A and B are shown apart, each in its own frame.
Chain A
Amino acid sequence: MSATLQTTETRTMTGAEIVLQALKDNGVEVIFGYPGGAVLPLYDALFQQNAIRHILVRHEQAAVHAAEGYARSTGKVGVVLVTSGPGATNAVTGLVDALMDSIPVICLTGQVPTHLIGNDAFQEADTTGITRPATKHNYLVKDIKKLAGTVHEAFYVAKSGRPGPVVIDLPKDILIGKGPYNEAPQAPHRSYRPQTEPDMTSIRAAVRLLKGARRPIVYAGGGVINAGPEASRLLGDFVRMTGMPCTHTLMGLGAFPSEDPQFLGMLGMHGTYEANLAMHGCDVMLNIGARFDDRVTGRLNAFSPNSKKIHADIDPSSINKNVKVDVAIVGDAGAVLKALIECWQADEQPQDRAAIAEWWRAIDGWRGTGCLQYRQEGSIIKPQHAVKRLYEITREMGRETFITTEVGQHQMWAAQYFGFQKPNRWMTSGGLGTMGYGLPAAMGVQIAHPDALVIDIAGEASILMNIQEMGTLAQYRLPVKVFILNNEYMGMVRQWQELLHGSRYSESYSEALPDFVRLAEAFHARGMRVTEASQLDDAIREMIAHPGPVIADIAVAKDENCFPMIPSGAAHNEMILAPGQEGGVTGVTDEGKVLV
C-alpha cells in the first residue's frame, strides 16, 4: 500500500475503537484509569484488545500522577482514562500538577451524551469548563468525524513546545456511535507551532556575554529534562568546556551529574549556600529551561542584583515574566545548547580564565561552610542521614534507581542528599507541591521500568493522601519501596510555625497515625519499622532486597528543620543556616510572612 493511500484511507469504527486505535497509533502501550458509566464503551473496547495495557488505580488523582511518573521517567506522553463527573473532578489535582511541572499527559474523560450536556444529568460535570485553567488545552468532542483527529492533535499539543496536560472530554454517544478513523495528519497544526530552533542573533549575544564573564553561572531547570537526555548530555558538555559552575532547580536535578565538581547543588529556598551565593554574586547568569520561580529567586528586587541575565526557554511567556533579562532565547533546551556550543567554539574571544579561577575560589570558600553537614549522633535517626544512606547504599549496589517524593521536608532532604547522575530519575511535585504525588508517581515509574528500583521518599502525613494505591501495587506486583521519614509532624508546616509563628504548632502534629507495618501487610506488602540508627543500613538493604512492595517506616528526629533556608521575602544572601553554621542570618521579615 502506498503512503498516500494509507493516509487517505478511512475505516469505520465505533468511537471507542477510534480512541484506542488513535492511542495505539501514537505509541501508547499503557493507560492508567478507573471505570464508570460514561466510559463503559471504552472499557468494553479495551477488554477486546491486547495492544494497550490498562492499569486500574484506586483513585483518579493517582491515575494522573502515575501517568506523570510514567511520562517523566520515559519522556513519553502519559495517558489517563476516567469517567465523567466525579472521575473527572478527582483528576483535576493531577492535571494542575502536570500543568505546573510541564508534564505531557493526556486525560480522556467520559461525559454524558451530547443531548444531555447542560441538563445536570447524573454524573455530569462541566469538565472542559473546570479543566480549562487546569490544562494546556482541552477538547469536547461533539462530532465523531472529528474524534480521531482530536486525539492525534492532543498528542501533538501535549508534547510540543512546553509540554502539558490535555483533556479530551468524550460524550457517551460519541463513544458508541460509528465514524471514520483517520490517521495522524502530516500537515502542520493550523495555529499552534511553537518555536524550537533558537534565533542565532540571540545565541551570539549570549555567547558574547558568557565569554566575557568573570563570575558566570549556569542555572538549569526542568526544561532541560523535558528536552530529552541528549539535552542533558549537551548541558554537561557546555558546562565542562566553559569551566562554569552549574546549579539546578528542583525540577532540573539529574540533568547535570550531582557528583561532578562543577555542580553546586540545588538553588533556591532550600538550596545550598554556595549555589545561592553564586547566583547572588554572579556577573553573567545563563538560565536554561527554568522560570525564575519565586522559590528560586527569593525577594525579586534583591535577586542577583549585579548580573546580566540570559534566559533560554521554549515558552516565550516565561521570559521577562518575573525577572527582566538581557538576552532572551526562545527554543528547545537541546537546540539552544547545541547552538551555544557551536557558537562558543567558533567565537575567537578568549575567556578570562584567571577571573573564573578567582570566582571558583570564592565558591569554594562558600562550599567550605558545609551547609548540608549534620551530626548523626546517638540512636535517633536524623532524616538527612536516612536519605544519605539510602543514596549511598543504592549507589554501591549499582541498580538503576528512580526516586519519587511526596511534599514536605522529606522532599527537600531527598533533593539535597540523594544525588542524581542522570536525567529522568527524579520525579517530584515541584510547581504545585502536591502531597500524595509520590506513591502513584512511583507506580507509573515502575510500570515503565519493571526491573528498576523505584523508591518513594515519603512523609508520614503525605503518604496517607494516596495510600489506597498500595492496592494497585499489590494487584500488579509492583515492587515500589515507600521510604517514610516519619517525624510524626507535618514537618514543613511545623518548621514554618516554629520560625514564623512563635512555635505555635497549630494542627501540624500527625495524631493517630496508623501502624504502617500492619497497614503494609493489610495491602499484601512487606512492612518494616526502624527506630535505631544502628539498624538503618541493614533495614535499607533488606527493603531493597525484598522482591515485592515495601513500606519502610523510618522513625526520625521529630524536630529537625530543613536548612539552609531562604525565608519567603528574603534575598539569596539572607539565608538561614543550620544552628552552629557560620555565615547565615536569622529571622523573617513581616513582609515575608504574607508570602507562601
Chain B
Amino acid sequence: MPDPSETTLRNATIAVLVENEAGILARVVGLFSGRGYNIESLTVAPVDADRRLSRITIVTSGTDMVIEQIKAQLDRLVPVHKVSDLTLEGPHLARELALIKVVGRGEARMEALRLADAFRARVVDATIESFVFEMTGAGEKLDAFIALMRPIGLAEVSRTGVVAIARGPGGFEA
C-alpha cells in the first residue's frame, strides 16, 4: 500500500498499449505535464498494424504513491488498453539505441575506434575526419561511452529513449 508520507523516489519503466490514433501522444504527454509528473524518457511506435496498436514506454520517477497515480491516470485514458509497471512486475530488459558522431583526426580517431570496439559500437558512417557510431544497450552503457567520446571529439548524439519488455514467456496483450 503506498504511503503518502514516504518520500523516497523510485524509477519506474511503464509500458502502455494504446490505440494508434491521432492525439494519443498529446494525451499522455499532457497528463504528465498537467499533473507535474516527471518524464525521463518516452518512446512510441506502432507495434501491431492490423489491430492499430502502438506501444509507449515511459521511464519516470516518483514516490510509490505518485507512480501508482501515474499508472491509474494512464489507465483511465479512453484509448489506453493496458498499463504495466515493468519495474514492479518482475525482471525486464530495457534497451536504448544511440547514434554518436565523433570528429577528429590522427590519434584521437584511432582511440575512438578502439573504444567503440570495446563497447561493441558499430561504425555506420565514416569520413576522413568523422565517424558515426551506432550503439544499443542499457542507458548507463550508452552514457559511459558518450562520456569517453567527449574529450576525443564528440560532435553530436541522438538517442531513442528506452524501450523495454518483460523477460520470460508472459505477453502483454490488449
Contact = CB atoms under 8 A, between A and B. Distances in A.
8 tightest A-B CB contacts, nearest first: A317-B72, A137-B78, A191-B81, A192-B78, A316-B72, A317-B73, A324-B4, A133-B34
B72 A191 contact: no
A136 B77 CA distance: 8
A137 B73 CA distance: 13
B48 interface: no
Contacts of B27: 132
A132 B73 contact: no
A190 B3 contact: no
Given A133-B30, A161-B76, A324 B69 contact: no
B2 A132 contact: no
B36 to A, nearest CB: 13
Given A190-B19, A321-B69, 14 more contacts: A136-B78, A140-B22, A161-B76, A192-B79, A194-B76, A315-B72, A315-B76, A316-B75, A317-B69, A317-B75, A320-B2, A320-B65, A324-B3, A325-B1
A301 B4 CA distance: 9
11 contacts: A128-B23, A132-B26, A190-B19, A191-B78, A192-B79, A315-B76, A317-B75, A319-B72, A320-B65, A320-B69, A326-B1
A66 interface: no
B21 to A, nearest CB: 10
Interface of B: 1-5, 18-19, 22-23, 26-27, 30, 34, 65, 68-69, 72-73, 75-81, 174
Contacts of A415: none
Interface in A314-341: 315-317, 319-326
A300 interface: yes
A324 B2 contact: yes
Contacts of B3: 324
A157 B34 CA distance: 21
B1 A317 contact: no
A129 interface: yes
Interface residues of A, number: 27
Contacts of B18: 191
Contacts of B68: 320
Interface string A156-174: 0100011000000000000
Interface of A: 128-129, 132-133, 136-137, 140, 157, 161-162, 190-192, 194, 300-301, 315-317, 319-326
A541 to B, nearest CB: 48
B19 A323 contact: no
A300 B18 CA distance: 35
Contacts of B1: 320, 324-326
Contacts of A132: 23, 26-27, 30
Contact of B65 (A161, A324, A326): A324
A315 B73 CA distance: 9
Contacts of A315: 72, 76
Highest count of chain A CB atoms <10 Å: which of B26, B34, B69, B76: B76
B23 A323 contact: no
Contacts of B5: 301
Highest count of chain A CB atoms <10 Å: which of B4, B5, B18, B80: B4
Contacts of A300: 4
A193 to B, nearest CB: 10
A102 B77 CA distance: 15
Nearest to B6: A324
Nearest to A162: B76
A140 B24 CA distance: 12
Contacts of B80: 191
Contact of A317 (B22, B76, B81): B76
A301 B7 CA distance: 14
Nearest to A132: B30
A322 B30 CA distance: 21
A316 B5 CA distance: 20
Given A320-B68, A324-B1, A191 B76 contact: no
A191 B19 contact: yes
A301 B174 CA distance: 39
A320 B69 CA distance: 8
Nearest to A324: B4
Highest count of chain B CB atoms <10 Å: which of A161, A191, A319: A191
A323 B81 contact: no
Nearest to A142: B22
